[in-house]
Chain A
Amino acid sequence: MTILLFGVTKDIVGSSSLSIPVSNNTIPKTVGGLKQYLGQSYPDLLELSSLAVAVNNNYAGDETKIDTFDEIALIPPVSGG
């Protein structure tokens, strides 16, 4: 499972994407689970004023199910315009 990173989340993780090995049986099954999982390794992610998750180019709520074939991205506070 690959997670795309943007903005400050890229700085926190130190890379533009992050891989969660599929062999890992703790692989998160929902957006909420993913945030919790990443928060354990990168607690600074949970300190952001907002952290949204996009699944296949749409903002997704915590209960949304995720799978390895989905395009998943972390969206920190936006600042366009």
Chain B
Amino acid sequence: MAIKNVFVQGAITPEYIAKSIANHQSKTTIGAHDIFLGQVRADVIDGKTVSAIEYSAYEEMANAKFHEIRESAFEKYDLSCMHIYHSKGIVKTGEICLFVFVSSPHRKEVFNALHHIVEEIKSQVPIFGKELFQDDSYQWKVNT
């Protein structure tokens, strides 16, 4: 299977997410979808408020890691399909930077698979978020 490009420029729009859901209405063996949306938080750090996150990545390796995560999830869980999108570039607070969409005939599979996939993304994929503050300073984010 070819390695897909997971990255989209800027925020992932609610319209895009709605369209993705609509695209699955013809797949009638699916009985359950689950969706994870990562949203940029306006954290306050040392009195300064985050206004956006600028994402960069080691794209070739990141896409390879997404591919590995996808393949291993298909092996572990009974999934009908799976879609992952991650932003690159600037995403403002309140906007969506990660969209994971899994589908299966039954609900248990999607709950478990989604949890597993998101944790793998957060810990394994070489993506780097630069938290931009309102005063033009920044700091590199670290996932906990």
Contacts and interface: CB of A to CB of B under 8 A. Distances in A.
Interface in A33-81: 49, 54, 57-58, 73, 75-81
Contacts of B123: 78
- Looking at chain A's contact residues, the main secondary structure is loop
A21 interface: no
B114 interface: no
Interface of A: 4, 6-8, 11, 49, 54, 57-58, 73, 75-81
B140 A81 contact: no
5 contacts: A6-B128, A8-B140, A76-B140, A77-B143, A80-B143
B89 interface: no
Contacts of B124: 78
Given A6-B57, A7-B56, A78 B140 contact: no
A7 B57 CA distance: 8
B125 interface: yes
A80 B55 contact: yes
Q: Interface residues of B toward A: which range?
A: 20 to 34
B141 interface: yes
**Lowest 6 CB-CB distances: which A-B pairs, in order?**
A80-B127, A7-B128, A79-B141, A79-B129, A77-B142, A57-B61
A78 B60 contact: no
B140 A79 contact: yes
Contacts of B127: 78-81
A11 to B, nearest CB: 8
A25 B135 CA distance: 46
B16 interface: no
Nearest to B138: A11
B126 interface: yes
B64 interface: yes
Contact of B121 (A6, A7, A73, A81): A81
Contacts of B92: none
A57 B125 CA distance: 11
A43 B135 CA distance: 29
